[in-house]
Chains A and B, each alone.
Chain A
Amino acid sequence: MSDLVIVGNGPAAVAAIERFRSLDSRSRVTVVSQEEVPFYSPCPLAEYVEGSVPRERLFLRPASFYDDNGVEFLGGATAVELHRGVVVISKAGELHSLAWHKLLVATGAVAARPPVDGIEGTAGVFALKTLSDAEAIMAQARRARRAVVIGSGFIGLEAAQALRRLGLDVTVLEALDQVLPQMLDADLAEIVRSRLEENGVKVLCAALARAIESERGAVRGVRLDAGVLPADLVIIATGVRPDLGWLAGSGVATDVGVLVDASMATSVPGIWAAGDVAQAPAWDGRQRLIPTWPNAVSMGRIAGGSMAGGESRHSGTDVVNVVRVFGMAVASFGERSNDEPHDFATGGARRRVRIREGVISNGQFIGDISGSGALLEMMRKGVDVRRLGGVIARPGVGPAWSLPRPPKPGRHAA
């Protein structure tokens, strides 16, 4: 019997452990982790693949983290069923039941598998979600020449960039008609596409992968409507989704993720959820699944506080993302829309802020992302920005924002 069982070992789980332990040093805590390795950050995996971040830098806590926090670590264990008071786990092919008093679902998400024939079981086809994915890609990249990345979200672009830097011939396939379709408007996405192409990455938009072509079980290419694209390394980067199968008999209410309130409590008393698996109230109050690192950490902290009996409430998760495309920063917050746009352009930088009923609803930034966090905060707080007019998209607009300066009195004014 463990007082608290945490299923998962990502940022939400670790943030929950740390907050929980700061409030409760006595309860017995067990972590059930699918991977054998201790907690690591998945965000710099593309940098690990390209070689700019060494392996040890992925591990953000000392090796003694679990011992220091009095946590029993069950590695290589997968939760397969959840019942009241008991979770069934599978470890080394054997089933065990683990009794719990409180339980945190922090199992994260897995790479989505698009409906492409031959994705499963073909050697040389990978996702870039876990450390073992990254290491399998690195091994394959050493002997591969041509890579195809399916999906042009931020993970797809990071993967394409890493493989290009390793000297591979890289093509990105995007089913929609632009890159970064969730983050950018079509005209801004065109700048990103040019950046990729200038750096030797081929980009095919409105290109649907139909099947993985293989020869003796190893990938040989990707079949499109227009023909076959030769490839000896394929990365699937079409987003992530939580794996909720094991929760079927638990009574925990789910939608695309596990539904939680602002305290991270699920519909079942004694069960909380946090991280990429949790569909929590976002900044606007709508329950949404927004799988990002900052949301996972903040949700984990709240869950840790709630599980220790505190009154912690999340102020709402954020839709915010940022990616670098060959050194060019690209950031966005909020969701794409047709709201009133305000644009700012200078040099290579483009900034767009959209306003709905006087309040910022969306921001998109290329090249100059300074102060975007301040704009995000103004959106969250519902600050009326109408009096700022078009200045809102200018860099440097912050909480002490710039008002348009009056024209300087000309020395030789007529």
Chain B
Amino acid sequence: MQKAIFTLMERCVACKSCEIACAVAHSQSGILATAQFEKPLPRSRVRITSAGAYSFASRCVHCEDAACIAACPTGAMHREAKTGVVAVDQDRCIGCWMCVVTCPFGAVTADPGTGKALKCDLCAVRTAKGLGPACVDACPTGAMVYATPDELAGMRRSATAMASVGAVEEIEESVALWRNLKGGRAI
């Protein structure tokens, strides 16, 4: 099973570290200090979107039946055979924006700098080196997770288990406290 990026909405504090890390990872220099002066300006492929009291790192989810691939009339939008990543061949893209108007997630945007389609490439360069996607590695609250669905389910299970154990410890503490109080001893 391929790894994907999952967002744990309850942890996102909309700090936009992911946006900056994404833009820097896709810049020419790869360094924040110089990336901000590059032309064309490197752009983020992930965007923090607020949803009521929550916020969410909105980006390409690499759909199984991707509308953008069906809509692309130049063959630029394609699925990488090895990784399953939906990617844009920059040479073939003519910036017709069919992908932008058909993506149900609003995750493909028109890059005004290059005139080509811009979207998450799941950090192919970084993952090939064994690193996580830049946005995930930059997230200070662990709101983004790069894992297979099975791994995510495992993490969820262990979090539930930890929460249960934590609850048991709390009960034990309360019981001990009650006994102590009953025994008339000070805590």
CB closest residue in chain A, given B50: A402
B94 within 8 A of A: yes
Known contacts A44-B73, A44-B96: does B52 contact A331 (CB below 8 Å)?
Answer: no
CB closest residue in chain B, given A294: B71
Give A134 to B52 CA distance when docked, in angstroms. Answer: 51
Contact B49 A402 (CB under 8 A): yes
Give A396 to B103 CA distance when docked, in angstroms. Answer: 13
Contact A324 B96 (CB under 8 A): yes
Within 8 A of B (CB), among A1-17: 11, 15
Cβ of B100: which chain A residues have Cβ within 8 Å of it? 322, 329, 331, 369-370, 372-373
B115 within 8 A of A: yes
Q: Which B residues contact A (CB, under 8 angstroms)?
A: 47, 49-52, 56, 58, 67, 70-71, 73-75, 92, 94-98, 100-106, 108-110, 115
Identify which of B58, B92, B94, B96 contacts A400 (C-beta below 8 A).
B58
CB closest residue in chain B, given A43: B73
Cβ of B110: which chain A residues have Cβ within 8 Å of it? 329, 369-370
CB closest residue in chain B, given A377: B104
Known contacts A318-B102, A372-B101, A374-B106: does B52 contact A403 (CB below 8 Å)?
Answer: yes
Taking the closest CB of chain A, its distance from the CB of B80, in whole angstroms, is 17
Contact A373 B108 (CB under 8 A): yes
A47 within 8 A of B: yes
Known contacts A57-B74, A405-B50: does B104 contact A399 (CB below 8 Å)?
Answer: yes
Identify which of B58, B71, B94, B104 contacts A44 (C-beta below 8 A).
B94
Count how many chain A residues have C-beta atoms less than 8 Å from C-beta atoms of the other chain: 42
CB closest residue in chain A, given B91: A57
Within 8 A of B (CB), among A332-387: 333, 369-374, 376-377
A297 within 8 A of B: yes
Contact B50 A373 (CB under 8 A): no
Contact B98 A399 (CB under 8 A): no
Q: Which A residues contact B (CB, under 8 angstroms)?
A: 11, 15, 41-44, 47, 52-53, 57, 60, 293-294, 297-298, 301, 318, 320-322, 324, 327, 329, 331, 333, 369-374, 376-377, 396-403, 405
Cβ of A327: which chain B residues have Cβ within 8 Å of it? 115
Taking the closest CB of chain B, its distance from the CB of A106, in whole angstroms, is 16
Give A329 to B105 CA distance when docked, in angstroms. Answer: 19
Identify which of B56, B67, B75, B92 contacts A294 (C-beta below 8 A).
B67
Cβ of B108: which chain A residues have Cβ within 8 Å of it? 373
Cβ of A322: which chain B residues have Cβ within 8 Å of it? 96-98, 100-101
Taking the closest CB of chain B, its distance from the CB of A387, in whole angstroms, is 10
Cβ of B101: which chain A residues have Cβ within 8 Å of it? 320-322, 331, 333, 369, 372-373, 376
CB closest residue in chain A, given B95: A324
Cβ of B96: which chain A residues have Cβ within 8 Å of it? 43-44, 322, 324
Cβ of A297: which chain B residues have Cβ within 8 Å of it? 70-71
Give A296 to B121 CA distance when docked, in angstroms. Answer: 27
Cβ of B51: which chain A residues have Cβ within 8 Å of it? 400-403
Identify which of A333, A369, A398, A402 contacts B105 (C-beta below 8 A).
A398
Contact B102 A294 (CB under 8 A): yes
3 tightest Cβ-Cβ pairs between the two chains A and B: A43-B73, A371-B106, A374-B106
Give A374 to B99 CA distance when docked, in angstroms. Answer: 11
Give A44 to B73 CA distance when docked, in angstroms. Answer: 8
Give A396 to B100 CA distance when docked, in angstroms. Answer: 12
* 14 pairs, A vs B, C-beta closer than 8 Å: A43-B98, A320-B101, A322-B97, A322-B100, A329-B110, A372-B106, A373-B67, A373-B104, A374-B103, A374-B106, A377-B105, A397-B106, A400-B58, A402-B49
